[in-house]
Structure 1
Amino acid sequence: MNLQDMPSPAPAQAELTSPVTSAPFKETACDDFTLGGFTWRHAFQDTARTVVIINAATSVRCRHYSRFADYLFANGFDVITYDYRGIGESRPASLKGLDASWSDWGALDFEAMLKRAQREFPGQPIDVVGHSFGGCAAGLGASGHLIRHLVTVGAQFAYWRDYAPAHRWRMFGKWHLVMPLVTMICGYFPGKRLGWLEDTPAGVVRDWSTPTARYEQRPSGRVIHAKHGRLPFANVTAKTLAISLSDDPYGTIAAIERLLGYFTGATTTHLRITPQDIGEQEVGHFAFFRSAYQATLWPIALSWLQTGELAPDTPGRQVPRS
């Protein structure tokens, strides 16, 4: 990065000094499905304080992001985490027969969180952090125009040709052959039993495993596109930072740029980080939100949420936008 082009430093970050208590909640989506999640709320409302919604990766429970939510709360944000329908706090008694897709997770579940943030934190700016598919979900809500700042981490929608070459065929076999086959037999994907991920609704598996390069060609993407004549990504006008890790086999440059191409109404920056940039040997797809990276990776997201800019000492390099 060219330091003379960098903005002034972001406000100092606060360290976590004591346990933070979050409160569980239930929220009803517009189709009457009940979603569960957690809120980190300061005692007094302040319209200058931002509320951050955290969108999880596919079939990763929202509890995975609790320490990161604690960190944001300690640095002056209110925070909402939640599980998509079929996962964790939003799981019904049985996943068999649950009609839930990736687009439902964005257009219904994330949209419900945007509406909740408006209602529960009136007048406060709304920012979003999206991990993996969570970055895609951020573009599927009809109220995406409400987002002020957006940070995505390893965000893409699993087009198999974008997987890292060294892992591509193994990943294709796992996610595009084995996963849909097991789902067809069981009526849902029993990922927890296999130690792969949380149990996952069949519609989400269909979206993930369909080997097409365009989101509007995924099964649920076709439904949205046919209904509205377009996808809602352009509704998002947020200043957007896409963070990718060089050793993430899902979040390759091609994969990140493919998703960013849908955010035509947003101002986007793609930051590419190698583990060596932060003194590590590996980080991968899931580790960003582990507390081990509080001092090295979390401040990057914090700075963007606070200012919409990268701090001068940010590790990594910016990927030129085509």
Structure 2
Amino acid sequence: MKNGNTTSYFILLGLFNHTEAKLFLFVMVVTTSFASLVGNAFMIFLIHQDARLHTPMYFLLSQLSLMDMMLVSTIVPKMVTDYLTGDKFISPAGCGLQIFFSITLGGGECFLLAAMSYDRYVAVCHPLRYPILMNWQLCLRMTLGSWVLGAADGLMQAAATLSFPFCDAHEINHFFCEAPTLVRLACADTFVFEYVMYICCVLMLLVPFSLILISYSLILAAILQMRFREARKKAFTTCSSHLSVVGLFYGAAIFTYMQPKSYRSAHHDKVVSVFYTIFTPILNPLIYSLRNREVKLALRKCLGQCSALSHD
């Protein structure tokens, strides 16, 4: 392989190359990924089928499930194929697509979670004005904005990352093409790009996260002013599922994208990436189905209908 951009492929070293129990880990990742796809697809189906879930809150949740499904589909099939065939090559175009989709979906989720926090703020603090403050037009605009902002960041980072010349060693010590990992292979001064990427991450992560903190600070203040214990319990239940998802997602994303390169290691990058690309997507439908009353009622109704059809 030659220096510069003339290389026709990269080599993904994978997730299991330095582990003895690689077959067990492979089966666990595949099982988790399949369960994630099924769980999120079922969540979308449930929201579409049950009229009680035709609200802005659950529409945003269906978009979150869609993003999680697409993220798993972007990463896992290539990783599984590489493991089964031993062919670990990936073209620059394929690498660019993985960077684009992973950043698009990750950035989109940041803004989508912020939109969901605003929805919870309106539901708790202004319940009587909810149909006005959280109307369908605003909901659709926030959803479209999440996709567009994520795609803009993904396109910019994918194009900028692949514009660098790369050294003879085109081995990527990762199981998919991730911008911070690929930058390590560049045979050029990447300081300016890393600085710009860091600024983008601040905007894509901390700005939505700040909006989430503001929303939940106002929610907490409103809950503390409630006189009745049942009202406080209902408000906490309404917000706890979303807070759990926010904590899981932002913890992994901030650790991955906002650490300077000098403090990062390939092993830690892979572990954290596994968490937010494979394991977090399966937790979202579980959290919302187990801790949300409306979703549980819709699930029981759906299972009841399936049971009735099976006996006919």
Measured against the shorter chain, the TM-score band is under 0.3
Q: TM-score, normalised on structure 2?
A: 0.27
Q: TM-score, normalised on structure 1?
A: 0.27
Higher helix share goes to which structure? 2
Higher relative contact order (CA 8 A, sep 6+): 2
Q: Higher Cα Rg: structure 1 or 2?
A: 2
Higher strand share goes to which structure? 1
